[in-house]
Amino acid sequence: MSERADIRAKAAALRAAFEAQGAMVAEVPLLQPAATLLDLYGEDIRGRAYVTSDALRGEQMLRPDFTVPVVEMHMAHGAEPARYTYAGEVFRRQEQDPDRANEYMQVGYEVFDRADPAAADAEVFALIADALAGLPVDPVTGDIGVLMAAVDGLETSDARKAALRRHIWRPRRFRALLERYAGRVPVPATRAALLAGQAASDAPLIGRRTQAEIDARIDVLRADAAEPPLSDGQVALIEALLDVRETMPHALSRLHDLAVDMPEIAAAVARVSEREDALAKRGVDTEALVFEASYGRVSMEYYDGFVFGFRATTRPDLPNIASGGRYDALTRQLGNGVEIPAVGGVMRPDMMLELEGAP
């Protein structure tokens, strides 16, 4: 049997196992309308997508993963609750790393169920952990919703909160904004002159922006400059939150401590605690399960809660063998105002076979 045939056989076996749990097989086309995907997948995928076009269909994209098209399918036609599985190729350009595959098989399991989100999180994680049993992998979990709640609780303008939320998935940019909003970074001379009204010019406009758009942008910058800086205490709490990396019980203890000074995160921390209980009921050893508050910040931008991944213990060069998370807000975006709690995960059968064959 060829290597490609081995991967397909592994993918089929994984999908069959999810079908045995009651999941329906989801079939989505290789080519997807590009506009929605480019808006939803985030900057990482935007720069790594294979996009084409024709006169009849407009811009099309080779699917970079299955989640968005499966959500679109469910929100248009699905009943509640629902479970889906799939197996097929996905495509991502790898111009910065030619050693990484730009086409590979992905197997997934998605749950749309509003009855008990914590139990659904645990279901997806536990089923994927069972499928990986015996392989040298280490699981890690996190929760994007805790950091989102912390940002929403900052004593600053809505515009600054929106900017920080937008850059949660770009840690360096997030950190730079936090430093700027705290007044720790000097304002560049050109911006200072602009804000002081000293940068007027009679030169002709060059580019696509109109004078009205330029003036509006200057007004936004001036409004931001008038905002008082974030206090050292607020910044320290965000930094302390991002530093949380412990086994689940110790991480929860630290999160509860932080919630005393950041009451806005209390509800999100309670969801983490409920999930720990649900995972334990599924047989997951939560005493040893790692929770990283920063985990998932370089993954898909549609995740807004629970996130997880399984890393190869002895092969740090490999991408995640499996990963996933919760994407409730995505169902609202694609459901025209209708939403349903949803969580899912994907696996790499090619990476699983590579680990199975390792000495």
Note the pLDDT of residue 264.
Answer: 97
Phi-psi region at 42: left, alpha or beta (left = phi > 0; alpha = psi -120 to 50):
left
Q: Where are the domains of the chain?
A: 1-136+336-359, 159-230
Note the pLDDT of residue 342.
Answer: 97
Per-residue three-class SS string for the chain: CCHHHHHHHHHHHHHHHHHCCCCEECCCCCEEEHHHHHHHCCHHHHCCCCEEEECCCEEEEECCCCHHHHHHHHHHHCCCCEEEEEEEEEECCCCCCCCCCCEEEEEEEEEECCCCHHHHHHHHHHHHHHHCCCCCEEEEEEEHHHHHHHHHCCCCCHHHHHHHHHCCCCHHHHHHHHHHHCCCCCCCHHHHHHHCCCCCCCCCCCCCCCHHHHHHHHHHHHHHHCCCCCCHHHHHHHHHHHCCEEEHHHHHHHHHHHHHHCHHHHHHHHHHHHHHHHHHHCCCCCCCCEEECCCCCCCCCCCCCEEEEEEECCCCCCCCCEEEEECHHHHHHHCCCCCCCEEEEEECHHHHHHHHCCC
Q: Name which residue leads in pLDDT, 49 or 225.
A: 49
Question: Across residues 105-122, what is the average pLDDT?
Answer: 97
CATH 3.30.930.10 at 1-136+336-359, yes or no: yes
- Contact call for residues 125 and 279 (beta carbons, < 8 A): yes
> For the purposes of burial, counting CB atoms within 10 Å of the CB of 154, is it exposed (0-12), middle (13-18) or buried (19 or more)?
buried
The pTM score is 0.88
**Measured CA distances, 49 to 43, 72, 147 (Å):** 10, 19, 28
The answer on pLDDT for 220 being more than 80 is: no
What average pLDDT is seen over the chain? 88
The answer on pLDDT for 54 being more than 60 is: yes
Among 163, 171, 147, CA closest to 307: 147
Question: Across residues 180-187, what is the average pLDDT?
Answer: 81
Sign of CA dihedral 211, 214, 219, 220: positive
- Residue showing tokens 């705290």: 182
Question: Across residues 111-120, what is the average pLDDT?
Answer: 96
pLDDT tens for 284-337 read 999 999 999 999 988 778 899 999 999 999 888 888 999 999 999 999 988 888
Question: Across residues 214-220, what is the average pLDDT?
Answer: 59
Question: Across residues 206-232, what is the average pLDDT?
Answer: 69
- Contact call for residues 278 and 121 (beta carbons, < 8 A): yes
